[in-house]
Chains A and B, each alone.
Chain A
Amino acid sequence: GAVVSQHPSWVICKSGTSVKIECRSLDFQATTMFWYRQFPKQSLMLMATSNEGSKATYEQGVEKDKFLINHASLTLSTLTVTSAHPEDSSFYICSADYGLAGATDTQYFGPGTRLTVL
């Protein structure tokens, strides 16, 4: 149980294009999902908290117009990197909250998406 999938696992795109990443909880419903960014040999940095049916909450310094998040159902959240640039190249990882609704609890992570912007 508690499986989270992420698609695609890797993507290469040209500068200026947009990329959509999907995060799905396969065997449980997740009111809350999270999007992280991880640079090589660094820790996970929370970008935003995605709440089903409402607007995402972005961390300080994360541009909400650049990183669009949609949590349309209890099993799917999407992150769209708009007008991607080489500095957006990174490992993007989602997680899903396995805990009680409204209370962050155990998080299970997706396998990550490696984005390379040329």
Chain B
Amino acid sequence: GENVEQHPSTLSVQEGDSAVIKCTYSDSASNYFPWYKQELGKRPQLIIDIRSNVGEKKDQRIAVTLNKTAKHFSLHITETQPEDSAVYFCAASIGTLTFGKGTMLLVSP
């Protein structure tokens, strides 16, 4: 089955800095890669996603890049704000979602 590795497990940045979270997947058949943000005790919220026919997608301060050859995708957050602090999960889908272990992002004022 699919295996998703996510790094780093924790990431601390200063407000205004950029944050990058990286994921790799094992199954080349995966064709959908969403990113979710989860605050403590709350539901995961979809923040951005990308499909295998696209290499990059951007939505305001958030961008995702996909390298199908390397089976690697990344989340980029620019101009981070304290409210960006949360756990971020990447996932890969070949019919069902397989999640990475998550990255706890802490943005300090």
B102 with A43: CB separation less than 8 A: yes
B42 with A43: CB separation less than 8 A: no
Q: Please, what's the 1-or-0 string for A95-118, where 1 marks a CB less than 8 Å from any CB in chain B?
A: 000000000111111111010000
Task: Mark the stretch among B62-70, B76-84, B93-101 that contacts chain A.
Answer: B93-101
- Bound complex: CA A107 to CA B97 (Å): 9
Rounded to whole Å, the gap between the CB of B104 and the closest CB of chain A is 8
- Nearest chain B residue, comparing its CB with the CB of A111: B43
Rounded to whole Å, the gap between the CB of A59 and the closest CB of chain B is 9
- Bound complex: CA A112 to CA B96 (Å): 19
Q: Does A34 contact B (CB under 8 A)?
A: yes
- Count of chain A residues with Cβ under 8 Å from any Cβ of B? 18
Q: Please, what's the 1-or-0 string for B11-48, where 1 marks a CB less than 8 Å from any CB in chain A?
A: 00000000000000000000010101000011111100
Q: Is the interface of B mostly helix, strand, loop or mixed?
A: strand
B46 with A106: CB separation less than 8 A: yes
Rounded to whole Å, the gap between the CB of B103 and the closest CB of chain A is 10
- List B contacts of A49 (CB < 8 A): 96
Q: Which of A69-106 contact B (CB under 8 A)?
A: 93, 104-106
A43 with B101: CB separation less than 8 A: yes
- List B contacts of A44 (CB < 8 A): 44, 89, 99
- Bound complex: CA A105 to CA B41 (Å): 25
Q: Please, what's the 1-or-0 string for B49-75, where 1 marks a CB less than 8 Å from any CB in chain A?
A: 100000000000000000000000000
Rounded to whole Å, the gap between the CB of B109 and the closest CB of chain A is 24
- Bound complex: CA A107 to CA B91 (Å): 11
Given A43-B100, A46-B97, A104-B95, also A110-B89 (CB < 8 A):
no
Top 3 A-B residue pairs of the complex, sorted by shortest distance between their CB atoms? A109-B43, A43-B99, A111-B43
Pull 18 A–B residue pairs with CB atoms less than 8 Å apart, ordered by A. A34-B96, A43-B99, A43-B101, A44-B44, A46-B97, A49-B96, A93-B44, A104-B32, A104-B93, A104-B97, A106-B46, A107-B97, A108-B46, A109-B43, A109-B45, A112-B41, A112-B42, A112-B43
